[in-house]
Amino acid sequence: MTIPTESIGSIPRPPQLLEALRAFRTGELSREKLDACYDEALRDTIRRFEDTGSPVIGDGEQSKPSFATYPLQDLPNIIPDGVVITFADGHTRQLPKLTAGPFRYRTHADTYVKAAKPYAKRPLKQAVISASALSMIYPSEGIEDYDREAFLDDLVAETVADIRGCLNQGAHHVQIDFTEGRLSVKLDPSKQLLHQFIDLNNRVLEQFTPEERQRIGVHTCPGGDHDSTHSADVDYADLLPSLFDLKAGNFYMQLASEKDPDHVLTVIKENLRPGQRVYVGVIDVLNPQVEEPELVCERILRAAKYIPLDRLGSTDDCGFSPFEDDTSTGRDTAFAKIRSRVLGTQLAAKALKL
């Protein structure tokens, strides 16, 4: 037995790609040349991922506009006038808003798996956005001739297709990004919104067999964008045990940046269900300092006091650049942190005699 270790998803885009995106949007660069820049960034990302020694790699979300909005880009029935999410440092992100039905994805995540497969020599992981996050694009005032229930039915079908497409393409694991979990508790302390989110995501997960769910995971964190968060002040105890009500096999949980990790680990121990594995965050992606492998090892050994070894893994707290314009963390720093996580996980496995 060993300790599995995986990244969350996004890697900062190279400066050349960001410049190409700017030039494309101002009409100075053709679509063909932009696609070539995407391809070069993808190849470089996979090469550098594999150079870290990571047993499972990803595409770094190089061609996603963001982890949340990739299905929506260029849809004709979407406008940039949706829910505003405020971060602790005062900056905001705004979700798009749906204007008419039916709801369909413009881009499914299996396209990213297809693009990465020719370059990858190791198992590929793919992140997808949750149904609960996308449910927030439906306007509070409703849509004529397209009620919310009809929208949710379409949303569930599209989210299932998104995950299944990745599994069918051979993705090692598919990770559902559920960063709105803690945020929902902040927005609605009664937790009714959280329970609605859990129920909606379970409508998706119930479409998969128990065996398939062991390849599906859920990522939770308090948001991580431009070195700030939107809900770090929400206690994990307010998210759990509801999080583990999700019918997934793997849970990727931000932990390295928590002020009281032992409190969080105690809550996890008390609520973890049979058949569920927890990948604890051992890399603080908002801290520019690269963790030493020994610190990663120490964090894993602490988690091992609470979580059975056969249900323990390690991960990063969050993606390093969930939106394409987030350059707060350097690309070299991100890969150095990943390498430290891999080496630190190996040290922990050795210390635990695995």
User: What is the rounded CA–CA span in Å between residue 284 and residue 337?
Assistant: 9
Q: Does residue 299 carry a pLDDT above 70?
A: yes
Q: Is 92 exposed, middle or buried (0-12, 13-18, 19+ CB in 10 A)?
A: exposed
The helix or strand, by DSSP H or E, that contains position 252, with its residue range, turns out to be strand 250-253
Q: Does residue 327 carry a pLDDT above 90?
A: no
Mean pLDDT of 297-314: 98
- Classify residue 74 as left (phi > 0), alpha (psi -120 to 50) or beta: left
Lowest mean pLDDT among 206-215, 225-234, 250-259, 342-351: 225-234
Domain boundaries along the sequence of the chain: 15-351
pLDDT at 229 (0 to 100): 83
212 within 8 A of 168, measured Cβ to Cβ: no
Q: Which CATH class is domain 15-351?
A: alpha beta
Query: What type of residue is 273?
Result: R
List Cβ neighbours of 353 (8 Å cut-off, separation of 6 or more). none
Q: Are strands 216-220 and 250-253 parallel, antiparallel or unpaired?
A: parallel
Dihedral pair phi/psi, residue 55, rounded to 5°: -70, -25
User: What is the rounded CA–CA span in Å between residue 24 and residue 3?
Assistant: 43
User: What is the rounded CA–CA span in Å between residue 94 and residue 291?
Assistant: 32
The helix or strand, by DSSP H or E, that contains position 42, with its residue range, turns out to be helix 31-51
Q: Does residue 220 carry a pLDDT above 90?
A: yes
Dump pLDDT digits (tens) for 254-278: 999 999 999 999 999 999 999 999 9
Mean pLDDT of 321-340: 90
Dump pLDDT digits (tens) for 110-122: 999 999 999 999 9
User: What is the rounded CA–CA span in Å between residue 182 and residue 194?
Assistant: 8
pTM: 0.95
User: What is the rounded CA–CA span in Å between residue 44 and residue 48?
Assistant: 6
